[in-house]
A and B are shown apart, each in its own frame.
Chain A
Amino acid sequence: EIVLTQSPGTLYVSPGESATLSCRASQSVNNNLAWYQQKPGQAPRLLIYAATTRASGVPARFSGSASGPDFTLTITGLQSEDFAVYYCQHYHNWMASFGQGTKMQIK
């Protein structure tokens, strides 16, 4: 079973700044990695798939990158609506699992 470890657990950032969220896979997922945003009381929303591709309608301030087992979600110019919980998820070999999430809060 592939385990995804997200860091940090909580990230305090000021509006207008940039944020970097990390996700490490316990074994290769061949870039079959997605990022989701979840706000309170809402279903998750797909942001990034295939590690680096923005989903339809996702602003350009969201970007994903990959280096081996390490994946990064970067959000530049944080806006008030970006403060939420972010999850990474792999979809390798017809299976799936989620990371434990990073909660982004206003500093």
Chain B
Amino acid sequence: QITLKESGPTLVKPAETLTLTCSFSGFSLDSGVGVGWIRQPPGQALEWLAVIYWDDDWRQSPSLMGRVTITKDITKNQVVLTLTNMDPADTATYYCARRRGSFDAWGQGTLVIVSS
């Protein structure tokens, strides 16, 4: 059974750095597989943020202008997303998902609120 679960703070202050962890099980980051992050502000559409692949290659959304870093720890089956300089506009539910081409398995999501 494939599972992914996001963890991290619920509340962050403006200008702080957000660190989220995706813990996964039931699959390995083998050739062709990646883990990505997607967010969804309340009542709005999905927005792809970043993805890291089995070979440590990673991509980020151009809209984030270099605020994103994504790393993986295969010994722990975890992928970590950091997003710098948080703003109230970054308030959203953050999802991690397995990428085999499309995102075929998703975590339940974690709500992050940016407020002072």
Contact = CB atoms under 8 A, between A and B. Distances in A.
Interface of A: 1, 32, 34, 36, 38, 43-46, 49-50, 55, 87, 89, 91, 94-101
B57 A89 contact: no
B51 interface: yes
A68 to B, nearest CB: 20
A9 B19 CA distance: 33
Given A43-B108, A94-B57, A50 B46 contact: no
Given A96-B36, A97-B61, A91 B101 contact: yes
B57 A43 contact: no
Contacts of A43: 95, 97, 106-109
Contacts, number: 63
Nearest to B36: A96
22 contacts: A32-B101, A34-B102, A36-B103, A38-B46, A43-B106, A43-B109, A50-B101, A89-B46, A89-B103, A91-B99, A91-B101, A91-B102, A96-B48, A96-B51, A96-B61, A96-B99, A96-B103, A98-B38, A98-B45, A98-B46, A101-B45, A101-B46
Interface string B83-116: 0000000000001010101111011110000000
Contacts of B106: 43-45
A44 B103 CA distance: 9
Interface residues of B, number: 24
B104 A87 contact: no
A97 B60 CA distance: 10
B10 to A, nearest CB: 16
Contacts of A89: 46, 48, 102-103
Contacts of A96: 36, 48, 51, 59, 61, 99, 103
